Chains A and B, each alone.
Chain A
């Protein structure tokens, strides 16, 4: 009888503690529900003729009308194309840089110097996109330091980094690498620090040279991380941040820099076509989700672990 009493006192104390834990969760969970889930009701705008005065509830349903409009608008396809081109470029040019640098840092003998390289490479991650765009516009200008170097080594005419759509893309990717390589390295350095040293010793005894070690130990050990990152990047092929393309662009290169996020902003907030812009946003989210699932399934088929 006494023991039972103790037990229920204990249970009551546990329950009291759980209640205070739920109390703590009120604000955080309210945040997620209000700011992450509640906006999902706004998705309905894509299926209505949204009228600011009638509000979302009062506006009439129009079915898939706005989606039909989206797919018959040439400027949408320009935005779609540019988003894919810029993201593919990031996947081919920007993505491998941190992997290569991390592997080389792992082989680097001067560890203190290596740590300083890391520290300096993280710096651009702390600068805002406005600052980076400002720097890019100075450095890549016709009279900027890059073109001055170009002229000094006998390159002739200044390169139109900021004014021709084709070359502007290169500027975009170079800026991507410059601002993101350091941050991108961290995840690979973390994965490398988890590699068992004995694997390297074994490879050494088996007569592997430096490149043998990288090829037979480091890369296979990094493979799950790399595959995960590729899946995430493929999933994001249609989603592109707003700030980078928006702040790096200018009217002369609109043909290359108009991407979906900027298109949604222009159509929705600037032109006031909330319904149309919401439809574009939904297309982007749904395709993104499908791409992630496809890439994940493919990775699993190839014998990798995948995201889920």
Chain B
């Protein structure tokens, strides 16, 4: 369909170009500033001269981060937790979404309502806390995995996606005596790779970034995630240093290095996941 009007490169478009360049700058400026601070020399930071680019080149703050065994431990634990959550959540979400995508399944509507209600009404933090206490989940790794096993939002996205698969594909397979488990494995999953990638990313990012469940339900330092370690680091005003040794870094320097260290995994996967991200959210927002 050809459009009658053409957008001309007029004053308006130039103004917009400048506006969006400004938006990009505003979005990236804080991140670039943190990067610059993490690499800058002490004096430049103390005199407030660091902007978008590092002044000098100082990796002592990073040396300190990498020498902190508890930081590295929290990093590997967070990766492990993220991988475990991703696998468990995707398995559970697929097992929920597949049957609920079958229009012929009796009781499907009622089950959907049971799920949708949980999106609008929750018992609250304290009743959940009491439940986890009764189930002896507090201070275990399970309190970080089980309560966030399935996101109703993600389940509905996946169900919508599964429903869009042509039903005749299934009918042919059923004729040949194919079971539902086999159909899910051989028909549905291969056709849903993009949706599964998107939701895996949602679960992984959510687990990697969430910190409230550590604050609420965990006291055991072995179960601190990297995000929580970062919070502890940022809460401290001074930085540890040996007496008599002249320090080459400032708290800003050290904190910025901690922030960058914590950001690295997201910055690495971001270019790969962002293309799935928009489409995933769109399926959820339009049809959910």
What is the distance, in angstroms, from B196's C-beta to the closest C-beta of chain A? 16
B33 located at the interface, meaning its Cβ lies under 8 Å from any Cβ of chain A in the complex: yes
A21 located at the interface, meaning its Cβ lies under 8 Å from any Cβ of chain B in the complex: yes
Q: A145-B29, A197-B3 are in contact. Are A38 and B125 (CB under 8 A)?
A: no
Q: Which of A25, A178, A277 contacts B95 (CB 8 A)?
A: A25
What is the distance, in angstroms, from B147's C-beta to the closest C-beta of chain A? 5
The answer to whether A190 and B286 touch across the interface, beta carbons within 8 angstroms, is: yes
Q: A28-B96, A129-B211 are in contact. Are A281 and B125 (CB under 8 A)?
A: yes
B245 located at the interface, meaning its Cβ lies under 8 Å from any Cβ of chain A in the complex: no
Q: Which residues of chain B are within 8 angstroms of A31 by Cβ–Cβ distance?
A: 92, 146, 149-150
The answer to whether B123 and A21 touch across the interface, beta carbons within 8 angstroms, is: no
What is the distance, in angstroms, from B119's C-beta to the closest C-beta of chain A? 9
For the complex, give the distance between the alpha carbons of A268 and B130 in Å. 11
What is the distance, in angstroms, from B47's C-beta to the closest C-beta of chain A? 9
Q: Which residues of chain A are within 8 angstroms of B129 by Cβ–Cβ distance?
A: 42, 268-269, 274
Q: Which of B114, B128, B234 contacts A32 (CB 8 A)?
A: B114
Residues of A188-244 at the interface with B, using a CB-CB cut-off of 8 Å, are: 189-191, 194, 197-198, 200-201, 204-205, 210, 242-243
Q: Which residues of chain A are within 8 angstroms of B266 by Cβ–Cβ distance?
A: 126-127
Residues of A123-151 at the interface with B, using a CB-CB cut-off of 8 Å, are: 123-124, 126-131, 133-139, 141, 143-145, 148
A94 located at the interface, meaning its Cβ lies under 8 Å from any Cβ of chain B in the complex: no
A54 located at the interface, meaning its Cβ lies under 8 Å from any Cβ of chain B in the complex: no
Q: Mark B141-185, 1 if CB is under 8 A from A, else 0.
A: 000001101101001000000000000000000100001110010
A88 located at the interface, meaning its Cβ lies under 8 Å from any Cβ of chain B in the complex: no
The answer to whether B98 and A24 touch across the interface, beta carbons within 8 angstroms, is: yes
Stretch from B8-16, B55-63, B64-72 that touches the partner: B8-16
A residues contacting the other copy or chain, number (CB 8 A): 96
Q: Which residues of chain A are within 8 angstroms of B247 by Cβ–Cβ distance?
A: none
Q: Which residues of chain B are within 8 angstroms of A284 by Cβ–Cβ distance?
A: 124
The answer to whether A243 and B127 touch across the interface, beta carbons within 8 angstroms, is: no
The answer to whether A200 and B111 touch across the interface, beta carbons within 8 angstroms, is: no
Q: Which residues of chain A are within 8 angstroms of B230 by Cβ–Cβ distance?
A: 130-131, 134
A40 located at the interface, meaning its Cβ lies under 8 Å from any Cβ of chain B in the complex: yes
What is the distance, in angstroms, from A142's C-beta to the closest C-beta of chain B? 9
The answer to whether A20 and B180 touch across the interface, beta carbons within 8 angstroms, is: yes
What is the distance, in angstroms, from A246's C-beta to the closest C-beta of chain B? 8
The answer to whether A45 and B126 touch across the interface, beta carbons within 8 angstroms, is: yes
Q: Which residues of chain A are within 8 angstroms of B114 by Cβ–Cβ distance?
A: 29, 32
Q: Which residues of chain B are within 8 angstroms of A61 by Cβ–Cβ distance?
A: none
B residues contacting the other copy or chain, number (CB 8 A): 96
What is the distance, in angstroms, from A151's C-beta to the closest C-beta of chain B? 8
Q: A24-B98, A31-B150, A127-B266 are in contact. Are A40 and B9 (CB under 8 A)?
A: no
Q: Which of B26, B95, B126, B274 contacts A28 (CB 8 A)?
A: B95
Q: A29-B114, A56-B130, A109-B13 are in contact. Are A138 and B33 (CB under 8 A)?
A: yes
The answer to whether A131 and B281 touch across the interface, beta carbons within 8 angstroms, is: no
The answer to whether B31 and A135 touch across the interface, beta carbons within 8 angstroms, is: yes
The answer to whether B23 and A121 touch across the interface, beta carbons within 8 angstroms, is: yes
Q: Which residues of chain A are within 8 angstroms of B246 by Cβ–Cβ distance?
A: none
The answer to whether B16 and A104 touch across the interface, beta carbons within 8 angstroms, is: yes
- Chain A interface (Cβ < 8 Å from any Cβ of B): 13-14, 17-18, 20-22, 24-25, 27-29, 31-32, 35-43, 45, 55-56, 101, 104-105, 107-110, 113-114, 116-124, 126-131, 133-139, 141, 143-145, 148, 178, 182-183, 186-187, 189-191, 194, 197-198, 200-201, 204-205, 210, 242-243, 246-247, 261, 264-265, 268-269, 274, 277-278, 281-282, 284-285, 289, 292
Query: 7 closest pairs, A vs B, by CB?
Result: A42-B127, A28-B96, A281-B124, A128-B209, A39-B123, A21-B99, A36-B118
Q: 19 A-B contacts, Cβ less than 8 Å apart?
A: A24-B180, A31-B149, A35-B149, A36-B122, A109-B9, A119-B274, A126-B205, A127-B266, A128-B208, A130-B209, A131-B263, A133-B231, A135-B34, A187-B285, A198-B1, A201-B5, A243-B210, A268-B125, A278-B127
Q: A148-B51, A182-B27, A243-B211 are in contact. List 6 more A-B contacts (CB 8 A).
A: A31-B146, A42-B129, A109-B9, A201-B5, A242-B215, A269-B129
